A and B are shown apart, each in its own frame.
Chain A
Amino acid sequence: MVFVFRLSGALLVMAACAYFAMHMSRTLERRKLELRKLYSILLQLKSEIRYLGEPLPDCFRKMAVHAKEPFAEWLSGLADRLDSREGEGFGRAWLAGLSDLQSLSAMTREDLEPLSELSDKLGITDAEAQLKAIDYALLHIERNRTILENEIGQKKKVIATLSMFGGFMTLILLL
């Protein structure tokens, strides 16, 4: 009987470790996908500013219609925040929106760092300066994505190995 309990405990530990490894790998895949989507959202924002010259809340609302989660929620929340005109400037609203996005997505703080630099550059008179700032953010996002793509296979292996190793160690300690 004791053996059966021990065996089921061991299986549970191993299953939990495998689940953890899978979850971590999926998060990495999600992060890669979200970085790609973020890149295309910024490209869209750039063309909205360059060709349509629409105000930012309108751009965000329009992009929210076509974007998938978590970006749709982030963009529409940002548009609402700007339209409410509760005394906070664009910079504060943008940064608050980014912190919402981080909590909703798999992206890290470092991934969103290039966007936070846009807080004092969007909405100004000079459209060209804004486009350059967006280009700069795009460059960083692309670089982060390339690094992640290069490392993702290796990272997944490390996660799987460490999880299994952790599982075995736990088993040894328990048994």
Chain B
Amino acid sequence: MTKREEVLKLLSAPVRRAIEGTGLDFDQLQEIRLRTEEPLILLYRGEEVFLSRAGEMLTGERDAYVVEAADVKETLDHVSSFSLYAFEDEIRQGFITVQGGHRIGLAGQVILEQGRIKSVKHISFLNIRMSHEKKGCGREILPYLFENRQICHTLIISPPGCGKTTLLRDLVRLLSDGSDRFRGVSVGVVDERSEIGACYRGIPQNDIGIRTDVLDCCPKAEGMLMMIRSMSPVVIAVDEIGQREDIDALSYVMNCGCHILATVHGSSIDDIRNKPVLRRLVEEKRFKRFIVLSGKGRPGEVENIFDDRGSVLYPGYT
């Protein structure tokens, strides 16, 4: 199924007709935003575009197609295959991953139970975000992850939205597939927010390699231990560590002889040292490589790679 078909089948009939009329290049389409009783907005080639009912692209909201409550409901029906109950956990997290790895963000009235989010009702806002894999973005830095032909425990440090998950996904794929310079290894991905593999009904929609196993929507700490017990991976990959239990699980995994590939929010190694929970791992030199993303260039652009002594191995983007 092409990206165009994957996306169009999710939409309500009137919105589908409007988008079909445009002749959009779906590889350049980033987002479709449906807000009840507000104009239909697309993020296309990095620009905001409005659409008329006939599918004409407009720069202003005048004459733009206004999304109705029925459009949101029908889209939600299609996204959930008429079965919202089957996506209770995803709704609680605020998004549903669909075929093709596209992610449907949703917002409405939050239902709380004992101070915790139980569900979301009256969903009136949808954001359909297209999946865009950036295959090959980790190829250049991959050799720096090895020392004496061994994979090093690696921490990717990046501010939000700078491509750390994109880079992690590509590194997972490269390690899993292998190349003529090194053999592929089995990689266990603990994908708590379903962002790395973007699993749809248990099957990764992103290419994460031929030797990769995924524990989808699983809490990181428990997932890492489960992975070790059940799949005996050589490398375990996790996104956005930061809780105390994550760090304890990481230490356990490292002691088991598995190699860690993890990401964390931050802007530098010093930034990580200042975080009480993560400081211990840096000071004990558990991680042998630190990849710092710049956030200045393209998503996934590497600023520096450091070793555990703080020496720069890769100067990267300057």
What residues make up the interface of A, taking CB atoms closer than 8 Å to B? 49, 53-58, 82-83, 85, 87, 89-90, 93, 122-127, 130
Q: How far is the CA of A83 from the CA of B124 in the complex (A)?
A: 23
Chain A residues with Cβ below 8 Å from B80 are 55, 123
CA distance A137 to B83 in the complex (A): 19
- Contacts A87-B13, A89-B74 given; indicate if A54 touches B86 (C-beta within 8 A): yes
Question: Does chain A have a CB within 8 A of B177?
Answer: no
Q: Known: A85-B78, A87-B74, A90-B77. Contact between A123 and B85, CB under 8 A?
A: yes
In the bound complex, what is the Cα–Cα distance between A49 and B87 (angstroms)? 11
Q: Nearest-CB distance from B73 to chain A (Å)?
A: 8
Q: Name 7 A/B residue pairs within 8 A (Cβ), A-sorted.
A: A53-B86, A57-B81, A85-B78, A90-B77, A122-B82, A123-B80, A124-B85
CB of A58 within 8 A of CB of B81, answer: yes
Interface string of B82-93 (1 = CB under 8 A from A): 111110100100
**From B9, B12, B82, B121, contact of A90 by CB (8 A):** B82
Residues on the B chain within 8 Å of A82, using CB? 81-82
Asked whether A49 lies within 8 Å of B77 as measured between CB atoms, the reply is: no
User: Which residue of chain A has the shortest Cβ distance to B111 in the bound complex?
Assistant: A125
B83 touches A55 (CB 8 A): yes
With an 8 A cutoff between CB atoms, is B119 at the interface? yes
Question: CA–CA, A83 to B74, complex, Å?
Answer: 13
CA distance A55 to B86 in the complex (A): 6
Q: A85-B9, A87-B13 are in contact. Are A123 and B84 (CB under 8 A)?
A: yes
| B91→A56 contact, CB < 8 A | no
Does A57 contact B13, Cβ atoms closer than 8 Å? no
Q: Could you tell me the distance in whole angstroms from the C-beta of A48 to the nearest C-beta in chain B?
A: 10
Which of chain B's residues 53-76 have a Cβ closer than 8 Å to chain A? 73-74
Residue-wise, chain B 245-282 has the 8 Å CB interface mask toward A (1 for contact) of 00000000000000000000000000000000000000
Q: Are B13 and A56 touching (Cβ within 8 A)?
A: no
Determine the distance from Cα of A149 to Cα of B173 in the docked complex, in whole angstroms.
62
A57, B85: Cβ atoms closer than 8 Å: no
Nearest residue (CB) in B for A57 is: B81
- Note all chain A residues with C-beta closer than 8 A to B91: 125
B217 CB, nearest partner CB in chain A, Å: 12
A56-B81, A93-B82 known; 8 new pairs, CB 8 Å cut-off, are A55-B80, A55-B86, A90-B77, A90-B82, A123-B80, A123-B85, A125-B85, A127-B85
Scan B107-151; emit 1 where CB is below 8 A from any A CB, else 0: 000000000000101000000000000000000000000000000
Interfacial chain B residues near A53, Cβ < 8 Å = 85-86, 88
Considering the chains assembled together, what is the distance between the CA atoms of A122 and B121 in angstroms?
16
Give every chain B residue within 8 A of A89 (Cβ-Cβ).
Answer: 73-74, 77, 82
Min CB gap A110→B, angstroms: 27
Q: Tell me if B82 and A57 are in contact (CB < 8 A).
A: yes
Report yes or no: B82 in contact with A55, Cβ–Cβ below 8 A. yes
